[in-house]
Structure formats: C-alpha cells, structure tokens
Chains A and B, each alone.
Chain A
Amino acid sequence: AQSVSQHNHHVILSEAASLELGCNYSYGGTVNLFWYVQYPGQHLQLLLKYFSGDPLVKGIKGFEAEFIKSKFSFNLRKPSVQWSDTAEYFCAVKGSNAGNMLTFGGGTRLMVKP
C-alpha cells in the first residue's frame, strides 16, 4: 500500500521568506508524485508533478520540488513567498501498480503574513 506523510501541518511565514514543505512517501516501486494547492474555498489545482527524468521539477507560480529517491521525499520549495500563496498544500503519490489512484498526504496549511 502507498502512503504519504506531510510533517508540517501549519506553516506561518512573512512575505519574501523562503518556503520548504516536507513530503515523504511509502511505496516500494516506481512512483509518480504531485503537489496540489487548494486556495481558500476553492478546488484543488495541480502545482507540479514528477513522472521521470530530472528530479528537480518546476511548476507554476515559482514553485519547484525535488524528488530524492533515496529519501523517499518530494519536498516543495519556493524562494520567496507572497501573501497570495496562502493556501493548503497537498502532496500526493501514485504507485505504478495503483492505476491512477492518488493517495494524498494530510496537507500543510500555509499562511503568509503581508
């Protein structure tokens, strides 16, 4: 079975601070990895995804994530956050034998103070 763990449940930052949100997964085979964002009152939107190739993935709105296979991690980063980045962030994993079933982490609530 696949599982995802996001260690930071709540993060509060000031604008222009750097962001790193942790994500670790558990799965023995090949994985696809995703970060979704949910702005207040809205649906989930894809930030970025990793399927194969370069482990450093760049997404929308200046976000990037690095897949480190040896650490089973896929941390999300942004060098300088903005107030508009205030949202809930979800890491998700799809194992190669899991069809297209995504397993989500518990989410990290990010609040950026202006």
Chain B
Amino acid sequence: DTAVSQTPKYLVTQMGNDKSIKCEQNLGHDTMYWYKQDSKKFLKIMFSYNNKELIINETVPNRFSPKSPDKAHLNLHINSLELGDSAVYFCASSQSATGGELFFGEGSRLTVL
C-alpha cells in the first residue's frame, strides 16, 4: 500500500481554469503538507495542516486553497490557474507538527498552457 498517495499524477490544463489535487495518507500521521517544486527543482513549503487545522501558510496566493476534511486527507484547490503555477506539487505527512520524518507522495505534475 502506498503510504502517501496523490491524484492525479499528471494534470494539463488551460490558464484561467480551476483544478484540484488530492492527497491521502494511511500512516496515521497527524500532520500533512503541500510542497511546490518548480522547474529548477527548488522545493518550497506551501501549507501545513495538523489535525485538520492550518498551521503553516507560506505567503501563497489566495488562489490556492487547501482543505483538510480529516487528518488523513489534504486537498489543494487552485483557482484561475496561471502559467507560473506549472510545477510538481508534493504532498507529505509526518507523525506530528513538532517532529518526525516527512514521508512524501509521488508528486502531481501540473502543466498550465
């Protein structure tokens, strides 16, 4: 079983559209994250949720709206997509918000045309 799974793995869409990426973890972890990896492979945290509550929001445009229906799921919705949103988005989870290894999903490659 995949510990952290993301869907879809690939997403190609037009500018201005709205899209969502879903993430689920079956590790029983309390904390989940979204990271963005740009074309130069630079990884930057976007959001973190602990037990469904937002704890980190790193100056991400408000077109990006994370939602955590329960602690095993963290979805990312993006409105009015722009070219610069093209990237690989990685979901991750950890045992707690204060420590522990991060386990990453396989990434969702978003291409905005």
A positions within 8 Å CB-CB of B = 32, 34, 36, 38, 42-46, 49, 88, 90, 99-104, 106-107, 109
A90 CA / B35 CA spacing, docked (Å): 14
Contacts of A90 in B (CB 8 A): 43
Contacts of A46 in B (CB 8 A): 101-102
Contacts of B45 in A (CB 8 A): 101-103
**Interface size, B (range):** 20 to 34
State whether A104 touches B106 (Cβ < 8 A): no
B positions within 8 Å CB-CB of A = 4, 31, 35, 40-45, 48, 55-56, 90, 94, 96-102, 104-107
Contact of B48 among A42, A101, A103, A104 (CB under 8 A): A101
Question: What 4 new A-B contacts, CB under 8 Å, besides A42-B106, A107-B43?
Answer: A43-B105, A100-B98, A100-B102, A101-B45
A–B pairs, 15, beta carbons within 8 Å: A43-B90, A43-B104, A44-B90, A44-B104, A45-B104, A99-B56, A99-B97, A100-B31, A100-B98, A100-B102, A102-B102, A104-B42, A106-B40, A106-B42, A107-B43
Question: What is the CB-to-nearest-CB distance from A74 to chain B, in angstroms, rounded to a whole number?
Answer: 16
